[in-house]
Structure 1
Amino acid sequence: MTTWNEYKNTMTSFTPEELSVMDTLTYLQAERIRRGISQREFADKIGMKQPHSLSSSGWTLCQLLAR
C-alpha cells in the first residue's frame, strides 16, 4: 500500500501551500479515524455541519482537493 508521503511526492501540479493544506487535512482525517470518531461526530465537535456531498458519496476532502 502506498503511504500519503510516498503518494504526495508524485503530485507535481500543486503548490507547496496546497500540499501543506493536504498534509493538514490528511493528518486530521487519520487522527479522527485513529480515535474512532465519525465524520458527523467530528463536525459536531468543531461546530460545523458535515457537507451532504461528502457524507453521501464517501469522498474525503483530500480526494476532492486532488481532483
Structure 2
Amino acid sequence: MSLFTHLQAALVARLAELRSDGERGDSPVPTAVIIFGLVAAAITVTALVATRAEGWMNAIPTAP
C-alpha cells in the first residue's frame, strides 16, 4: 500500500506542477488532427492515382 500512496502523491504533485506552469505550448491534439487529415488526404490521393493508373493500363491494347 505504501507504493500506491507514493505513486499517488507523485502524480498529484506532478499534475499540480503542470497546472502552475502557464506557458506550456500548444496541445498535441490539434497537431494530431492535422496529421490525421494529411494522412487521410494522402490515402485518398493514392487510391485515386492507383485507380486511374490501373484504368489507363487496362486500356492499352495487348499484342496479338
Q: TM-score, normalised by structure 1?
A: 0.33
Structure with larger Rg: 2
More helix by share: 2
